[in-house]
Amino acid sequence: MNILLATVIGFLYASGVYLMLRRSIVKLILGIGLLGNATNLLLFTIGDVARSTPPIIHEGEEALVGAYANPIPQALILTAIVIGMAMLAYAVVLIKQAYQITDSDDIDVMRTTDIETLAEDQSE
């Protein structure tokens, strides 16, 4: 199981990086999404994937017995997924705005901040 997951994670990272190296910003965002999923899966795998019981101490017992799932990586992933979703949502809105302004999907077009000086605007 771990080998399979490791392969999937590696594949997701590779595809994510491949997409990010394209010039289109939409593919860039998709690549970041894949990278995020790969990272979350990585956290998940670290929690040791095995059939196990929830980490709950039942009545009358003093400590956890038997194989139980490590709750910490799961808590971490949950947080990471929520944060990742918020970030991705914002990024999608931003590239939509960028597309409307520059009328292009090409990251190479978005170089005005690197080339020209922006002296005239913002004199309020």
Partner 1 sequence: MIVILPILIPLIAAILCIVLWSRPTIHRWVSLVASVGALVVSLVLLSTVRADGVQALAIGGWVAPYGIVLVADLLSSIMVVVTAFMGLMVNIYGYDDISEDFEKNGYYALYQFLLVGVTGSFLTGDLFNLFVWFEIMLISSFVLLSMGGSRAETEGGVKYVIMNMISSMIFLGATGLVFGVAGSVNMADLGGRIPQIAADNPILVTSIAMLYVVAFGMKAALFPMFGWLPASYHTPPTSITTIFGALLTKVGVYALIRAFTLIFATSDVMWFAQPVLLTMASLTMVAGVFGAVAQYDVRRLLSFHIVSQIGYLILGLGIFTVSSLAGTIFYFVHVILAKSALFLVAGIVNKTYGSYDLKKLGGIYNNNIALSMLFFIPAMALAGIPPLSGFWAKFGVLKAGLSAENFIAVGIALFVSVWTLYSMTKIWNYAYMRKRPDAYDRPAESLSATSFWLRWAPTLVIGLITVAMGVWAGPLFELATAAAEQLMNPEIYISAVLGGGS
- Identify the residue among 15, 24, 39, 74 touching partner 1 (CB under 8 A): 39
CB 54 within 8 A of CB 69: yes
Q: For the beta carbon of residue 83, count every other beta carbon within 10 angstroms.
A: 11
- Listed residue (23, 31, 33) closest to 110, CA to CA: 23
CB 112 within 8 A of CB 46: no
What does the alpha-carbon distance between residue 69 and residue 75 come to, in Å, rounded to a whole number? 12
What's the closest the beta carbon of residue 75 comes to partner 1, in angstroms? 9
CB 42 within 8 A of CB 1: no
Asked if residue 117 binds partner 1 (CB under 8 A), the reply is yes
What's the closest the beta carbon of residue 61 comes to partner 1, in angstroms? 19
Pick the piece of the chain touching partner 1 (CB under 8 A) from 49-57, 60-68, 80-88. Answer: 80-88
Closer residue to partner 1, CB minimum distance, 60 or 118: 118
Binding footprint of partner 1 on the chain (CB under 8 A): 20, 25, 28, 32, 35-36, 38-39, 42-43, 46, 72-73, 76, 79-80, 83, 86-88, 90-91, 94-95, 97-98, 101-102, 107, 110-114, 117-124
